Amino acid sequence: MIIFYKDKEKRILNPVLFSEIAMDWAEKIHDRGGKNANKRSQLRKFFDEVIRLNSLSKSNPGNWDNILPYVNMLIAKAAYAQGRGKVTQEFVDLIKGCIDQVHKDRDLDIFANFFEAFIGFYRKYGEN
């Protein structure tokens, strides 16, 4: 399970979130991808959407209540991609586990940074 905060009340980030945890999830998801699932191009689509939503939240800070539903919709998009054989349950778990922790715009920023680290490590594990 991915935990963003070491201390949520004080908003202290998990010190290994962008390193060990991102690397472990990248390896786990890559190893379960098989030939057609969890391709970098497919995962990149999700990453691009997270970055787009994060940028939108930063440029429209008063509009967070209208952005959050679109963030949550990424879970449905991941489930749909899983149904089409494009991603695995592990990737859906990663998306859901992260989005379940996004309650404010600053949480989305942490998710975006985690996802960036994850994508960076994912490349390490091969061509997939």
Q: Amino acid identity, residue 48?
A: D
Give the chain's mean pLDDT. Answer: 94
Lookup result for tokens 């979130």 = 17
Q: Which two tokens stand for residue 27?
A: 């390896």
Higher per-residue pLDDT: 90 or 33: 90
Question: Nearest-CA neighbor of 36 among 95, 2, 87?
Answer: 87
Provide the total of helices (H) and of strands (E) in the chain, helices listed first: 5, 2
* Confidence check: pLDDT of 18 > 80: yes
If phi > 0 it is left, if psi is from -120 to 50 it is alpha, else beta; for residue 5 that is: beta
The whole domain housing 89 covers 13-124
pTM: 0.93
Q: In terms of Cα–Cα distance, which of 116, 120, 128, 119 is closest to 54?
A: 116
Give me the number of domains the chain comprises. Answer: 1
Whether 20 is in a domain gets the answer: yes
Whether residue 2 lies inside any domain: the answer is no
- Checking if the pLDDT of 1 tops 90, the result is no
- Give pLDDT, residue 12: 97
Q: What is the pLDDT of residue 128?
A: 58
Task: Band the pLDDT of 127: cuts 50, 70, 90.
Answer: low
Q: Is residue 6 part of a domain?
A: no
At 101 the three-state DSSP class reads coil
Give Cα 79 to chain centroid, integer Å. 14
Q: Is residue 7 part of a domain?
A: no
